[in-house]
Amino acid sequence: MEIRHLITFKSIVDMGGFSRAAVHLGYAQSTVTSHIQALEQELGVPLFDRLGKKVHLTEVGENFLVHAIEMIQLYTKAKDVFHMENEEVTTLRIGAPESLTIYRLPQIIQAFRSQNPKVNIMMKSGSCWELQEELRRGDLDIGFFLQAPLTDSDLYTETLIEEPLVILLPPTSDSRTLSSFTLNTNENIILTEQGSYRDYFEAFLRSKGIATESGMEFWSVEAIKQCVMCGLGISILPLVAVQNEMQQQKLKVINWDTNLGSVSTIMSWHKNKWQSSAARKFMEVVRDQSSLWNQSI
């Protein structure tokens, strides 16, 4: 049963005849007749009594009209879903670790919303590993990671930029280098959450004979910076997260050697999850914005 046949049937009733319905729909009258014949053949009963030049609904036709109207309304509602998609009335679910949420995504979201004001954006913060799992489950449309480049059989991944890392020192700390690095008395190791660049940092410290088992663990990038600035200890973070503090001389840093391990900002999405027009446009904005990131390093 085709929706166009139902629309033709209702038009005949609304317009009061086959000829008027044909003019209204822009069909030849023979097309209107074939639509009704197809419906009557499928239903096995006549829908109209043809009395001379006039047509009247049969009892079955009157009962069927109620259902035809319901089906046309459902069809219209279903089409509205696609109209909404074209108008970008939708929700994007985006996940990113704290550092990217604070230092990379705000400008991207602002640029995207200026072009797509009707799109709702739901942000989810978490560790890179948690966000990967949410992408695999289909709970996120797009995920951003800060880690070593990866391959995943379930996910598309796109490396946007290799992020420089820096070891953070208190502003009053003595100058040090990677090659001659030592831990001063009363200095603590301040660590990020498990994984990511923390693994590189711990491996580097162990190579210098510095134990990391008693290190203090913080999830918040801002908390780590505050701890280092007040002289509590040393840590490691992406350069993008500490540029302001460096300019204000609130922190000292040692540039990280990428031979000891590197991390990148990565955009990812599920291979088998349908991407809305809004999601595709968001990723294009990401690519445009990320092409400028190297200029700010």
For the segment 177-227, what is each residue's pLDDT rounded down to a tens digit? 999 898 887 889 998 877 678 889 999 999 999 988 877 888 889 999 999
Average pLDDT, integer, range 262-284:
91
Instruction: Say how far apart CA 185 and CA 172 lie, in whole Å.
Output: 14
Query: Which pair of structure tokens corresponds to residue 13?
Result: 């009733």
On whether the CB atoms of residues 49 and 41 are closer than 8 A, the answer is: no
Q: Which residues lie across from 144 on neighbouring strands?
A: 267
91-163+263-296: which CATH topology? D-Maltodextrin-Binding Protein; domain 2 (3.40.190)
Its CATH architecture, for the domain 165-255, is 3-Layer(aba) Sandwich (3.40)
Please determine, for residue 19, whether its predicted confidence score (pLDDT) is greater than 80.
yes
Looking at the domain covering 3-86, what would its CATH class be?
Answer: mainly alpha
What is the Rg, in whole angstroms, of the alpha carbon atoms belonging to the chain? 32
| CATH fold match for the domains 3-86 and 165-255 | no
Report the predicted TM-score, pTM, of the whole model to 2 decimal places.
0.69
Query: Which pair of structure tokens corresponds to residue 214?
Result: 């008693």
- Residue pLDDT, tens place only, 137-175: 888 999 999 988 888 888 999 999 999 999 999 999 888
Please determine, for residue 48, whether its predicted confidence score (pLDDT) is greater than 80.
yes
Amino acid at 200: Y
Residue 16, Ramachandran bin (φ over 0: left; ψ between -120 and 50: alpha; else beta):
left
The full set of domain ranges for the chain reads: 3-86, 91-163+263-296, 165-255
